[in-house]
Amino acid sequence: MEIEKLKKKILHLSAMVEESLLMAVRSATERNSGMARDVIDADEEIDRMEVEVEEDCLKILALYQPVAIDLRFIIAVLKINNDLERIGDEATNIAKRTTALARWDNRDIPFDLAAMLRQAVTMVKRSADALIMMDPVIAREVLLSDDEMDARHRQTYDTIQNQIAEQPEMTRYFISLLSISKSLERIADHATNIAEDVIYMVDGEIVRHKDLDVSEE
């Protein structure tokens, strides 16, 4: 019973974080300061829920001394809980940068921010799907997307460096864009962590630092 309650709470937190990220993405693409403030305001509730989930995990460990699959589940939830809260933090960072970008409403973005946003959202959604369905195959697909996001961020960094050299008067604008790119890379890292923990939860396999194939059983 307690395990089922815990599962419902971590899935609820996942949905809250996903919604916050989607709003942050919309605020950035539309340069909508009002929506960005909504994301910032929602972070307090995400933080509260994260603390509640952690306390529930510790209570179950102390009172019920779970073993085998239940113990793996609780350990994984403790780690996933932290990653979800950090994704919420990065969504808030994106929202804060959006309020700065709004001052340069007509300025072009010198890299494919929309593609990075889509990929980050997709990775979070797929890691959440893997968690909900306890599906290690979906989780492994998420792992394979992380290298692509890292490459996108490196390319963005080089582009921003060149733009600052050419337009030093726009440095604050470009730094805000670079900060959003970095937040998206971190979000992808946290989604990857969640996917790794789903694989551990279901298969009992620790896959960090391993080269994986989606077809791997």
Q: What is the pLDDT of residue 109?
A: 86
Provide DSSP, 171-187: HHHHHHHHHHHHHHHHH
Query: H/E/C letters for each residue in 6-57?
Result: HHHHHHHHHHHHHHHHHHHHHHHHHCCHHHHHHHHHHHHHHHHHHHHHHHHH
For residue 100, the SS3 value is helix
Q: What is the pLDDT of residue 217?
A: 40
pTM, 2 dp = 0.90
Q: What is the pLDDT of residue 141?
A: 94
Q: What is the pLDDT of residue 2?
A: 87
Q: What is the pLDDT of residue 206?
A: 86
pLDDT < 50 stretches in the chain:
214-217
pLDDT in tens, 144-164: 999 999 999 999 999 999 999
pLDDT in tens, 35-78: 999 999 999 999 999 999 999 999 999 998 888 878 988 998 99
Domains along the chain with CATH numbers: 2-203 (1.20.58.220)
**6 phi, psi to nearest 5 deg:** -65, -40
Q: Which residues of 201-217 are buried (b: 16+ CB within 10 A; e: fewer)?
A: bbeeeebeeeeeeeeee
Listed in sequence order, the residues at least 6 apart from 191 whose beta carbon sits closer than 8 Å to its beta carbon are 83, 87, 120, 123, 124, 126, 127, 142, 146
DSSP 106: T
